[in-house]
């Protein structure tokens, strides 16, 4: 058996290539949209990708099933209860897919979404102890799937939580302790609240340590998994719908168009948003007015999708040579309206100094000494509620960064505003959102709450 796990750190997303080396037949499970790595690895191993299996309609990324089907001729497969606009195979509960000796068993495991499935993998169809189980968003390492995301339109949170409990207890927990657990997401994903940094576990370990599986009864389980979930990024509902649809394909080899300053200005004047992917430090030293800063060195697509609308054109500002990476990472969440990038951005900013501004950033000590006791200051904590509950700066208002565009009206644009997060990455995002919305006096705290709490 050929079994490869692909871990995409910036989205905390896992996908899988499973093949039988004796027959050359293979499947890919939950692929991201830039598919070359799967195609190249399969070819190098002498495998033909015959099927793309999706464990559910993903909300946190735009899956690559259409791209893989186009590139390889593979069949696309979902649960038999899933309805798609494109041709797809319907997989029944208990159905077996033979790749040769390697055998896949489909388990319907609704709860995170109604159409969620898990896939039991056996190196030989007769093995009593499976090699592993691909659990999608039903079971994570240290957590279970959320039953409250908008991917599940038509079902209440509690209805899905009941389904999730039943799926875990009747389909997954009966698997042998030695069965390896391979989830679709890990730590950092908004698909859960307690996800581990580990990329593989076992059913036995999860049975012993997973807080949700240790719940003594169904109602306790429902209470545990429906409370304290992080806010879902704004693009989740958009992707959940788009993953059902027949849509344009991504060509990951194509770079966006280079824009001179005149064309760049015209596009911005016409409503395009400027997404600056440089580091917060470089952004702070100088950027085009109206820019949103989401650094490529972090969770770029996730935070861009949290603060930029789905229906606007995007012009990129990035360090030279990173234009295609920025475009492809946005495409992973279905943000395809990248109309170009500013050519030689530093030279362009020098040539249009009247449209360039610096970002005010202060150390934790400067904040404490100069602003902590100033009643005029509007202090905004843009972390998640779980982080806020563990401690914040007195007087801060909690508005998670993904909620900031919709809740900006709760803040006074004329007041001095100071934004902070955990370490400084999200605060640069949030501060730039407020400046773009017309706030005149906005700063963020270098090192965030961590730096302030340890000074």
Each residue of 59-83: pLDDT tens digit? Answer: 999 999 999 999 999 999 999 999 9
- Residue 135 falls in which region: left (phi positive, over 0), alpha (psi -120 to 50) or beta: alpha
Number of domains in the chain: 3
pLDDT-derived band of residue 188, with 50, 70 and 90 as boundaries? Answer: low
pLDDT at residue 192 is higher than 70: no
What mean pLDDT comes out for the span 444-448?
Answer: 96
- The confidence score (pLDDT) of residue 227 equals 82
Q: Return the CATH number at 117.
A: 3.60.15.10
428 and 316 belong to one structural domain: no
- The confidence score (pLDDT) of residue 138 equals 96
66 and 48 belong to one structural domain: yes
What 411-414 contacts at long range (C-beta under 8 Å, 24+ apart), as own/partner pairs, is 411/378, 411/380, 411/439, 412/378, 413/437, 413/438, 413/439, 413/440, 414/440
In a domain, 249, yes or no: no
Domain boundary among 357, 388, 407: 357
343 and 369 belong to one structural domain: no
The reported pTM is 0.93
pLDDT at residue 151 is higher than 90: no
Q: What would the pLDDT profile of 393-426 be if each residue is shown by its tens digit?
A: 999 999 999 999 999 999 999 999 999 999 999 9
Q: Return the CATH number at 372.
A: 3.40.250.10
327 and 276 belong to one structural domain: yes
116 and 25 belong to one structural domain: yes
In a domain, 325, yes or no: yes
In a domain, 247, yes or no: no
Q: What is the CA 174 to chain-centroid distance, rounded? A: 30
In a domain, 148, yes or no: yes
60 and 125 belong to one structural domain: yes
Q: Output the CA–CA distances (angstroms, integers) from residue 150 to 65, 156, 304, 316, 362, in the order listed.
A: 21, 10, 19, 29, 38
pLDDT at residue 189 is higher than 70: no
Strands 103-108 and 117-122: antiparallel
In a domain, 295, yes or no: yes
In a domain, 79, yes or no: yes
Cα–Cα dist 123/316, whole Å: 46
pLDDT at residue 318 is higher than 90: yes
Asked if residue 426 lies in contact with residue 330, where contact means CB atoms within 8 angstroms, the answer is: no
- The confidence score (pLDDT) of residue 386 equals 85
pLDDT at residue 152 is higher than 60: no
pLDDT-derived band of residue 148, with 50, 70 and 90 as boundaries? Answer: confident
84 and 219 belong to one structural domain: yes
Domain boundary among 194, 210, 242: 242
- Per-chain mean pLDDT for the chain: 94
Q: In which domain, by residue range, is 34 found?
A: 2-242
211 and 104 belong to one structural domain: yes
pLDDT-derived band of residue 196, with 50, 70 and 90 as boundaries? Answer: confident
- Between 319 and 148, the higher pLDDT residue: 319
In a domain, 253, yes or no: no
What mean pLDDT comes out for the span 437-449?
Answer: 96
167 and 50 belong to one structural domain: yes
- The confidence score (pLDDT) of residue 233 equals 82
- The confidence score (pLDDT) of residue 190 equals 62
16 and 36 belong to one structural domain: yes
388 and 287 belong to one structural domain: no
Domain boundary among 207, 242, 277: 242
What percentage of the chain carries pLDDT values higher than 70? Answer: 97
Using CB atoms within 10 Å of the CB of residue 137, give its burial: 0 to 12 exposed, 13 to 18 middle, 19+ buried: buried
pLDDT-derived band of residue 197, with 50, 70 and 90 as boundaries? Answer: confident
The region of weakest confidence among 4-18, 50-64, 150-164, 371-385 is 150-164
In a domain, 252, yes or no: no
| The token pair that represents 251 in the structure block | 């060509």
Strands of 25-29's sheet, edge to edge? 2-8, 13-20, 25-29, 48-53, 75-79, 89-91
303 and 441 belong to one structural domain: no
Geometric angle at alpha carbon 3, from 128 and 169, rounded to 5°: 45
């Amino acid at each position: 058996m050929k079994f490869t796990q692909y871990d995409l750190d910036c989205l905390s997303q896992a996908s899988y290539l499973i093949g039988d080396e004796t027959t050359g037949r293979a499947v890919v499970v939950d692929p991201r949209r830039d598919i070359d790595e799967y195609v190249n690895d399969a070819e190098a191993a002498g495998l033909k990708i015959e099927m793309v299996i999706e464990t559910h309609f993903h909300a946190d990324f735009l899956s690559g099933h259409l791209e893989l089907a186009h590139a390889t001729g593979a069949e696309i497969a979902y649960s038999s209860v899933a309805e798609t606009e494109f041709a797809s195979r319907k997989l029944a509960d208990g159905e077996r897919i033979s790749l040769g000796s390697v055998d896949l068993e489909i388990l319907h495991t609704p709860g995170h979404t109604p159409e969620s499935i898990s896939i039991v993998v056996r190196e030989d169809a007769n093995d009593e102890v499976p090699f592993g189980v691909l659990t999608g968003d039903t079971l994570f390492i240290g957590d279970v799937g959320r039953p409250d995301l908008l991917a599940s339109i038509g079902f209440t949170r509690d209805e899905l939580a009941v389904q999730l409990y039943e799926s875990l207890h009747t389909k997954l927990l009966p698997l042998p302790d030695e069965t390896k657990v391979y989830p679709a997401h890990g730590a950092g994903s908004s698909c859960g609240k307690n996800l581990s940094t580990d990329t593989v576990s076992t059913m036995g370990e999860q049975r012993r340590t997973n807080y949700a599986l240790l719940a003594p009864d169904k109602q306790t389980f429902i209470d545990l998994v429906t409370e304290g979930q992080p806010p879902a990024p704004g693009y989740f509902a958009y992707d959940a719908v788009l993953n059902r649809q027949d849509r344009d394909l991504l060509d990951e080899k194509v770079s966006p168009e280079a824009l001179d300053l005149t064309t760049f200005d015209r596009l911005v004047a016409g409503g395009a948003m400027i997404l600056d992917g440089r580091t917060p430090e470089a952004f702070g030293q100088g950027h085009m007015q109206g820019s949103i800063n989401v650094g490529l060195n972090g969770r770029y697509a996730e935070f861009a999708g949290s603060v930029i609308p789905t229906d606007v054109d995007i012009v990129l500002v990035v360090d030279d040579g990173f234009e295609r990476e920025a475009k492809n990472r946005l495409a992973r969440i279905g943000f395809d309206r990248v109309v170009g990038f500013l050519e030689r951005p530093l030279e362009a900013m020098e040539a249009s100094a009247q449209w360039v501004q610096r970002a005010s950033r202060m150390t934790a000590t400067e904040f404490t000494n100069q602003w902590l006791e100033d009643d005029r200051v509007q202090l905004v904590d843009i972390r998640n509620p779980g982080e806020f509950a563990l401690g914040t700066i007195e007087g801060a208002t909690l508005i998670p960064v993904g909620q900031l565009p919709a809740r900006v009206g709760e803040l006074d644009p004329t007041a001095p505003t100071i934004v902070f997060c955990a370490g400084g990455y999200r605060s640069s995002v949030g501060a730039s959102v407020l400046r773009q919305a017309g706030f005149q006096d906005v700063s963020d705290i270098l090192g965030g709450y961590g730096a302030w709490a340890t000074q």
